Structure 1
Amino acid sequence: MTAPVADPLTRPGGSGASRPGRRADGGATSPLQRRRAKMFWPFLLPALVLYTAFMVGPTLASFWISLHSWDGITPMTWRGLTNFHLLLADPVFHTALLNTLVILFGVGAAVFALSFALTMLLRDMAGRRFARAVIFFPSIVSPLVLAIFWGFLFQQRGLLDSLLTGLGMADRPNFLGDHLWLIVCLGMVWMSTGLYVTIIMAGVDQIPPYLYEECELAGATAWQRFRYVTFPLTWDVIATTTVLWTVSSLKIFDFILAFGGTTNDLPPTSTWNTALFIYGNTFGGRVPLYQFGYASAAAVVTLVTIIVLVVLLRRLTRREAVQL
């Protein structure tokens, strides 16, 4: 009786057996690649530990605190989803959430429209570098300084008020009191536009000039050049900056606090966004004082909103790259 023949795909040395020093796709793994694989974790581990300690840990703690009533000192009391139910019935949170959406969509639309307009205006300007530096300047200054300067322009007895007084307008409007939220939004547009002009202009600079020359020879208008050349070829930049604005707009805090607040008081609740709502409930801006659990519930809602919006934006802005 003859012995069974071993399958060449399974016997040692056959093509089906795994061999040391070879990848799954059949290619050999070089010693350099093996050394790089061994060095991967030692370099990644410190950053991973810091990220876990300062990002993942506090986030999980916020979820846990949001399910309790806690003043930061005494033991926590379990409340379940009560804090989230109270948020749904809190008119101040409704105002804060609405203001946040206004910043996200309204201020964001103004920032992007102004950024594209300035980009196209500066594209062929002789002193574009100097002009771009002037426009970018507010983006590198502290928001607290910008808020003080913005308040100096619009507060009572400020620059605008003095100009109107000099023009003999006795019944001049109180801009800071009557239109505080509008002034705050305009200030955020001024503060944010420079950064996005720089990013969008960097994308526009990568477009070959001959495309614009061909459009001019074909008699295309400025709007047609923007619609059919600039906009499609800067789509990747637009998608990236949209996500950047979504995340940053939901975290705007210091500009509103410094502009609308005073030394001892927070700004009026009509100008609160979700970040100020969290701060006001955590550090005693509202009664009862130090509502850490309630503020953590608002923080959880804000985090979930950011995640959902970023995922939706990434899906909506996904498209194939345009080949030149």
Structure 2
Amino acid sequence: MTKPRELPASRRPRSTQWAAWAFLTPVTLYLALFYAYPLYRNLDLSLRHYTVRSFVRGDAPFTGLDNYRTVLDDPTFAPALVHTALFTGVCLVFQYAIGLALAVFFNQHFRLSATLRALFLVPWLLPLIVSASTWSWMLNSDSGIVNAALKAVGLGSVNWLTSPSWSLVSVIIANIWIGVPFNLVVLHSGLQSIPASLYEAASLDGANAWQRFWSVTFPLLRPVSAITLLLGLVYTLKVFDIIWIMTKGGPADSSTTFATWSYQLGFGNLLPAFGPGAAVGNLLVAAALVFGFVYLRVQRKQATA
């Protein structure tokens, strides 16, 4: 039985075309108002010399790429770049690895698996200010439960939030704890789509659990893993709440990332530097876009392979 040919857009009924535009209009307006316009305003901010007065009056002079040169020449740029890369990379690796391990574990469908999986979602459901405040209390040098546990086993206390050597580690630990549930949910849903017959065939061929994971689970989970890592990357690049509440980027900028630095430049001083702050924010946007295009290119190659 042959399929009926689809009419070209020019020959479709006018009512159908109007219906299509009616569905597209809300999405288009939403993208324009909440994505395109803020990005345009942020780009404009980064290309002009804005002060509080000129920001109100709207007469900031155009300075081209001067704000970007100011950011690149700033002594904070190199440490913030390293901290952003470390924070993003370490969080992604551990969030994905722990999330995948938990997803495989809960995929066994044992008793109470659904209940335990729901409990693991608690860090993801809590407001970030609550999670960050809780971790600040737990890692407090004097009264924190973590140092109390270390002393109980005969180890010395650690200045988690006030030591330049440990502040970045502290915010990484907190962000990993918050991000694991997202990886668990997405990867567990990906595992549900893998046919059980493939595992049965691998078992008949003599493959043990580890071999089944590397030969069946991991390859078939690759598309889901790719989108999980991309979304995690975009989210982690712009993490601000956790770092600001726990350490405010300190001490001595030891946990400053591009996200916190952008806020400090634009809003953290008596004389805000709106232009350089917007420039740092645009660097984050550019990094996210680059990784997004890399992901699309990889997906296109896999689709045509």
TM-score interval, smaller chain? 0.7 to 0.9
Q: Deviations over 1:162-188 (max 9, x none)?
A: 33445565x433233331111111111
Matched, 1:294 2:279: no
CA change 1:24–1:160 in 2 (3 A) is closer
The whole-number CA distance in structure 2 between the counterparts of 1:222 and 1:99 is 38
Cα pair distance change 1:119/1:168, threshold 3 Å: closer
User: Conserved in 1, the CA contact under 8 Å of 2:161 and 2:246?
Assistant: no
Alignment equivalent of 2:149, drawn from 163, 167, 170: 163
Name which of 144, 161, 169 aligns with 1:176: 161
- Kindly indicate which of the two structures has a greater share of residues assigned to helix: 2
Whether contact under 8 Å (1:243, 1:314) holds in the other structure is no
Contact 1:122 1:128 in 2 (8 A): yes
CA contact (8 A) 1:138 1:191 kept: yes
**Structure 1: which amino acid aligns with 2:276?**
Y
1:40 deviation in Å?
A: 1.7
CA contact (8 A) 1:180 1:260 kept: yes
Structure 1 residue aligned with 2:240: 253
Aligned to 1:8: none
Contact persistence 1:256–1:267 (CA under 8 A): no
Aligned counterpart in structure 1 of residue 297 of structure 2, from 300, 315, 322: 315
> 2:69 maps to which residue?
85
Within 5 Å, give how 1:1-324 maps onto structure 2: 23-24=7-8, 31=13, 34-74=14-54, 75-124=59-108, 125-156=110-141, 157-166=143-152, 171-178=156-163, 179-261=166-248, 267-268=250-251, 269-285=253-269, 289-318=271-300, 319-320=302-303
Q: Structure 1, residues 172-211: CA drift from partner, whole Å, max 9, x if none?
A: 3323333111111111111000111011001101111122
Q: Identify if the C-alpha distance between structure 1 residues 316 and 46 changes in structure 2 by more than 3 Å, giving closer, same or farther.
A: closer
- 2:295 is aligned with what amino acid? L
Largest Rg, 1 or 2: 1
Distance 1:131 1:64 in 2: 48
What's the CA shift string for 1:40-96, capped at 9, x where partnerless? 223322332232122211211221221111123224133221111122122212222
Is the 8 Å Cα contact of residues 103 and 185 (structure 1) preserved in structure 2? yes
2-structure distance, mates of 1:168, 1:109:
31
Distance 1:205 1:135, change over 3 A: same
Q: Which residue of 1 aligns with 2:3?
A: none
Q: Tell whether the 8 Å contact from 2:103 to 2:184 is kept in structure 1 after alignment.
A: yes
- Asked if 2 retains the 8 angstrom alpha-carbon contact of 1:65 and 1:292, the reply is yes
5+ residue gaps, structure 2, are 1-5
Unpaired stretches in structure 1, ≥5 consecutive residues: 1-21
More moved, 43-52 vs 160-169: 160-169
Amino acid at match of 2:50: W
Between the two proteins, what is the percent identity of the paired residues? 27
Q: Which amino acid aligns with 1:182?
A: V
Structure 1 residues 294 and 212, CA gap change in structure 2 (3 angstroms): same
Give the secondary-structure state (helix, strand or coil) at the position aligned to 2:52. coil
C-alpha distance in 2 between matches for 1:161 and 1:242: 32
Give the whole-Å Cα distance in 2 for the aligned partners of 1:231 and 1:120. Answer: 10
8 Å contact kept, 2:45–2:274: yes
Q: Higher mean Cα deviation, 311-320 or 128-137?
A: 311-320
Distance change (3 Å), C-alpha of 1:82 and 1:135: same
SS of alignment partner, residue 215 of structure 1: helix
TM-score when normalising by structure 2? 0.86
Q: 1:219 Cα shift? A: 2.1
How many residues were matched structurally? 290
Deviations 1:292-317 (A, max 9, x none): 01111112221111111111122234
